[in-house]
């Protein structure tokens, strides 16, 4: 009888970032769109660290900007938010 370790069970889980990257690569490949998903995938395979860091920095900047804009719009639209300021 084989025993299973925690390391063997952990390898079956896929991180969300890998799923998102694979989805972007799939869409870009099917529709022949140039994009960051394909560039990131090729950079990972080529071990191009500066390009990978640039893509991660750009993606983080987009997420932070989107969250900031969403918070500002929510503050303008929601009357409960205006009452507490």
Query: What total number of domains does the chain contain?
Result: 1
In a domain, 9, yes or no: no
In a domain, 5, yes or no: no
Confidence of residue 24 (pLDDT cuts 50, 70, 90): confident
Structure tokens belonging to residue 40: 């990131």
In a domain, 71, yes or no: yes
Q: What is the pLDDT of residue 10?
A: 47
Q: What is the pLDDT of residue 36?
A: 85
To the question of pTM greater than 0.85 for the whole model, the response is: no
In a domain, 2, yes or no: no
In a domain, 10, yes or no: no
- Domain, as residue range, for 79: 15-83
**Rounded to an integer, what distance in angstroms lies between the CA atom of residue 41 and that of residue 22?**
8
Structure tokens belonging to residue 84: 């507490």
In a domain, 46, yes or no: yes
**Rounded to an integer, what distance in angstroms lies between the CA atom of residue 15 and that of residue 77?**
35
Q: What is the average pLDDT score of the chain? A: 79
Structure tokens belonging to residue 14: 């896929």
Q: Between 6 and 28, where is the model more confident?
A: 28
Distance from the Cα of residue 21 to its chain's centroid: 7
Tens of pLDDT, residue by residue over 26-52, are 888 888 888 888 888 899 989 999 999
């Amino acid at each position: 009888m084989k025993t299973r370790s925690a390391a063997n069970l952990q390898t079956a889980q896929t991180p969300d970032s890998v799923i998102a990257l694979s989805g972007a690569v799939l869409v870009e490949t099917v529709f022949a769109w140039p994009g960051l998903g394909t560039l990131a995938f090729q950079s990972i395979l080529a071990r191009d660290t500066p390009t990978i860091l640039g893509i991660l920095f750009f993606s983080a900047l987009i997420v932070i900007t989107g969250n900031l804009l969403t918070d500002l719009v929510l503050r303008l639209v929601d009357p409960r938010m205006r009452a507490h300021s």
